[in-house]
C-alpha cells in the first residue's frame, strides 16, 4: 500500500534541546561587526546597553551547540514541534513527479516562526532583570510574536510598527494589544529619528530600517529598557534553527533528504533557521548537490542586486555596521504587501553563505507570488502570508521544471506562516488592484551613495 502520510509529527521529547550555531563550521569566518562610531570591531560591552549579555555571547559564540533553557523549552512546547507536511494535493494539481514537503510555522499562536526567538529573547532579558523592551516590526509578525513572548515572561513592550503595515494590518496591532503590548506607527513623534522623518515627509510609509532606529533610540534613552531585533543577527538565526533541526528529523521520518530547499528572505530569520542545519551537510561535503534558494521581492532585491558591503542595520545609523548585501540603509522599499521582506539589508550569515556560493538567490514579482498563494490555498488549504507566497512561487516553478524533465526531486519549502492578517492584500490581488513594482534602480543608487566608508 502506498504510504499516504502527509503530516509528520515529532514527539515533544524529540524537540531539539540545543540550538545549532553555524559560526564554528563556516569555511571562512564571518566578517567582523564594526562599531558605528569608530569603525573598529565591536566588543560585547558595546552592545550591553541594547541586549542581555547571554544574547551577546551567543552572537559571537564559538560553541557548535547552545543549550535551550528549560524555561524556553517549556514555552516552545505550547506549539512545538511544528508539523512537516507532504503537499500531495499541490503535487497532484501541478501534475509533477516532484515530492513537495513544507515545514509549517503558522501553527504558533502568533502565526509565524517569529516566536521561536521572541520567547528566547524575552527569557534572557527577564533573567537579566530587564523590565521593558522596545522593538520594531514590519508586517507585524515580529511585534506580535514578541508581545506574546513578553506576556509569558511579564515584560512591558513597546512596538514601532512600519506605518504602511500599521495601516494595512490593524488586526496585527490588536493582537499585540491582546497580549498586552503598546504599538505605534513608525515614523512616530516619540523619537528623534521619527520626528526628523515626519518633518521631511509627513506621509512617509516607513521602513524596517527607520523603525529600528526608533526602537534603538528608545532603548538607549532608558535604563530599564533593552532593544530586541526579530531577524538579521546571528543569535536570532540561532534560535530559529529549531525549524531546520526538527525538519531534518522529520524528513528522515519521511525517508527523504531534500534536493532543493526554498524559503523567502527579508531579514533572513525564517529561512536562516531552516537552511543552517542543512547547509552544514553541504559544508561538510556530504551533500554537494543540495540547492538552497533564497527568494526575495524584485522590489527589494537585496541579495540579487545589492553590493556586498558594510552598512548600518537602520536608517539613522545607530546600529553596528554589518557586512551584508544591502540596498543602502536609506533605501525606502516600495509598499509591497510582503512587509516582512521590505528590508534594505540581510542577515550576515545568509550573505556570507551566498558569497561563498553555498546558497543561491532569486527575486520574484508581487503578482506572481499571489497567484502562487491562491494555487496553494485551493490545494493545500492554507492561506499563506505574502512573504511565504514568494517561496511558494519558486517551489511551484521548480516542481513544474520537474514535470518538464520527469525528475522526482524532493523539495522542502520553509513555510513561515499564515496570511490571516493579510487578507487586505488578497483583496487587492483578487480585485485586480495589485501591481508589480520594478526594481527602483535610481532610488537604490541614491541610497547606496549613503553607504558608510571605512
Among 185, 421, 444, 447, binds a copy of itself (CB under 8 A): 421
Q: Between residue 69 and residue 88, which ones bind a copy of itself under the rule CB under 8 A?
A: 74-75, 77-80, 85, 88
Residue 175 in the binding site for a copy of itself (CB under 8 A): yes
Q: Does residue 367 interact with a copy of itself by CB under 8 A? A: no
The verdict on 398 binding a copy of itself (CB under 8 A) reads: no
Among 107, 221, 405, 435, binds a copy of itself (CB under 8 A): 107
The answer to the question of residue 4 lying near a copy of itself (CB under 8 A) is yes
* Dihedral (CA of 426, 428, 431, 435) sign: negative
Of residues 135, 136, 153, 164, the one with CA closest to residue 332: 164
Show Cβ contacts of residue 407 under 8 Å, excluding neighbours closer than 6 positions: 97, 98
**In the complex, minimum distance from the CB of residue 72 to a copy of itself, in angstroms, rounded to a whole number:** 13
CA 401 – CA 356 distance, rounded (Å): 26
Q: Does 5 bind a copy of itself (CB under 8 A)?
A: yes
Residue 6 vs 304, nearer CB to a copy of itself: 6
Determine, following the binding rule CB under 8 A, whether residue 192 of this chain makes contact with a copy of itself.
no
* Distance of closest approach, residue 381 Cβ to a copy of itself, in angstroms: 3
Q: Is 396 exposed, middle or buried (0-12, 13-18, 19+ CB in 10 A)?
A: buried
Q: Are 267 and 238 in contact (CB under 8 A)?
A: no
Task: Give the separation between CA 84 and CA 427, rounded to whole angstroms.
Answer: 29
Is 38 a binding residue for a copy of itself by CB under 8 A? The answer is no
DSSP code of residue 261: E
Contact call for residue 300 and a copy of itself (CB under 8 A): no
Q: Does 111 bind a copy of itself (CB under 8 A)?
A: yes
Helix, strand, or coil (residue 296): strand
Q: Given the rule CB under 8 A, which of 178-186, 258-266, 329-337, 433-441 is the region that contacts a copy of itself?
A: 178-186
Please report the DSSP string for 325-353 in residue order.
E-S-TT------S-GGG--SS--HHHHHH
Residue among 72 and 347 whose Cβ is closer to a copy of itself: 72
Among 159, 359, 383, 444, binds a copy of itself (CB under 8 A): 383
Give the phi and the psi of residue 67 in degrees, each rounded to 5: -65, 135
Distance CA 394, CA 292 (A): 12
Footprint on residues 114-143 left by a copy of itself (CB under 8 A): 115
CB 214 within 8 A of CB 194: yes
* Helix, strand, or coil (residue 413): strand
Number of residues binding to a copy of itself, judged by CB under 8 A: 51
Burial of 154 (0-12, 13-18, 19+ CB in 10 A): exposed
**Helical H segments across 233-322, by residue range:** 234-253, 269-283, 302-305
> What count of other Cβ atoms lies within 10 Å of the Cβ of residue 91?
20
Question: Least separation, in Å, of the C-beta of 8 and a copy of itself?
Answer: 9
Does 380 sit near a copy of itself (CB under 8 A)?
A: yes
Stated length of the chain: 454
Which residue in the set 23, 57, 151, 367 belongs to the binding site for a copy of itself (CB under 8 A)?
151
Closest CA to 186 of 156, 220, 143: 143
17 near a copy of itself, rule: CB under 8 A: no
* 362 contacts 304 by C-beta, under 8 angstroms: yes
Rule CB under 8 A: choose which of 24, 41, 170, 307 binds a copy of itself.
Answer: 170
Is residue 381 near a copy of itself by the rule CB under 8 A?
A: yes
Q: By CB under 8 A, is residue 152 in contact with a copy of itself?
A: yes
Residue 60 touching a copy of itself (CB under 8 A): no
Residues of this chain, 316-335, that bind a copy of itself according to CB under 8 A: none
Residue whose CB is less far from a copy of itself, 152 or 310: 152
Q: Is 430 in the site for a copy of itself (CB under 8 A)?
A: yes
Q: Is 154 left (phi over 0), alpha (psi -120 to 50) or beta?
A: left
Residue 332, all three cell numbers: 525606502
Residue with cell 514601532: 160
Q: Report, in Å, the least distance between residue 327 CB and a copy of itself.
A: 31
> Smallest distance, Å, CB 108 to a copy of itself?
8
Q: Is 97 in the site for a copy of itself (CB under 8 A)?
A: no
Only segment of 57-65, 167-175, 266-274, 387-395 that touches a copy of itself (CB under 8 A): 167-175
Residue ranges that bind a copy of itself, judged by CB under 8 A:
4-7, 9-13, 74-75, 77-80, 85, 88-89, 107-111, 115, 148, 151-152, 170-171, 174-175, 177-180, 374, 377-383, 418, 420-421, 423-424, 426-427, 430
Amino acid at each position: 500500500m502506498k504510504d499516504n502520510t502527509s503530516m509528520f509529527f515529532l514527539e515533544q521529547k524529540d524537540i531539539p534541546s540545543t540550538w545549532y550555531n553555524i559560526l564554528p563550521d563556516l569555511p571562512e569566518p564571518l566578517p567582523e561587526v564594526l562599531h558605528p562610531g569608530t569603525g573598529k570591531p565591536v566588543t560585547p560591552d558595546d552592545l550591553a546597553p541594547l541586549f542581555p549579555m547571554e544574547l551577546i555571547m551567543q552572537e559571537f559564540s564559538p560553541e557548535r551547540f547552545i543549550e535551550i533553557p528549560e524555561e524556553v523549552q517549556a514555552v516552545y512546547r505550547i506549539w512545538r514541534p511544528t508539523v512537516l507536511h507532504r503537499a500531495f494535493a499541490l503535487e497532484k494539481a501541478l501534475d509533477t513527479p516532484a515530492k513537495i514537503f513544507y515545514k509549517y510555522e503558522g501553527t504558533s499562536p502568533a502565526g509565524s516562526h517569529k516566536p521561536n526567538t521572541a520567547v528566547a529573547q524575552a527569557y534572557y532579558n527577564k533573567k537579566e532583570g530587564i523590565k521593558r523592551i522596545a522593538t520594531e516590526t514590519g508586517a507585524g509578525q515580529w511585534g506580535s510574536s514578541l508581545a506574546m513572548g513578553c506576556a509569558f515572561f511579564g515584560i512591558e513592550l513597546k512596538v514601532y510598527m512600519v506605518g504602511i503595515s500599521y495601516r494595512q494590518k490593524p488586526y496585527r496591532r490588536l493582537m499585540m494589544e491582546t497580549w498586552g503590548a503598546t504599538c505605534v506607527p513608525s515614523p512616530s513623534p516619540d523619537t528623534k529619528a521619527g520626528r526628523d522623518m515626519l518633518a521631511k515627509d509627513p506621509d512617509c510609509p516607513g521602513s524596517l530600517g527607520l523603525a529600528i532606529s526608533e526602537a534603538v533610540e528608545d532603548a538607549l534613552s532608558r535604563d530599564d529598557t533593552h532593544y530586541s531585533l526579530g531577524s538579521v543577527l546571528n543569535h536570532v538565526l540561532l534560535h530559529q534553527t529549531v525549524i531546520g533541526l526538527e525538519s531534518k528529523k522529520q524528513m528522515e521520518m519521511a525517508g527523504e533528504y531534500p534536493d532543493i530547499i526554498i524559503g523567502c528572505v527579508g531579514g533572513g530569520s525564517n529561512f536562516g533557521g531552516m537552511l543552517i542545519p542543512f547547509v552544514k551537510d553541504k559544508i561538510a561535503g556530504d551533500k554537494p548537490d543540495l540547492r538552497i534558494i533564497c527568494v526575495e521581492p524584485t522590489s527589494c532585491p537585496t541579495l540579487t542586486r545589492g553590493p556586498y558591503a558594510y552598512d548600518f542595520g537602520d536608517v539613522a545609523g545607530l546600529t553596528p555596521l554589518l557586512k551584508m548585501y544591502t540596498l543602502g540603509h536609506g533605501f525606502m522599499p516600495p509598499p509591497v504587501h510582503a512587509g516582512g521582506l521590505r528590508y534594505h539589508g540581510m542577515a550576515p550569515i545568509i550573505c556570507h553563505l551566498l558569497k561563498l556560493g553555498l546558497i543561491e538567490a532569486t527575486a520574484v514579482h508581487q503578482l506572481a507570488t499571489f497567484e502562487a498563494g491562491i494555487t496553494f490555498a485551493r490545494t493545500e488549504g492554507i492561506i499563506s502570508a505574502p512573504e511565504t507566497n514568494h517561496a511558494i512561487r519558486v517551489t511551484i516553478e521548480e516542481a513544474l521544471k520537474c514535470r518538464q524533465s520527469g525528475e522526482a526531486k524532493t523539495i522542502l519549502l520553509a513555510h513561515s506562516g499564515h496570511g490571516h492578517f493579510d487578507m487586505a492584500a488578497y483583496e487587492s490581488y483578487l480585485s485586480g488592484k495589485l501591481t508589480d513594482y520594478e526594481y527602483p534602480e535610481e532610488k537604490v543608487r541614491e541610497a547606496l551613495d549613503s553607504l558608510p566608508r571605512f
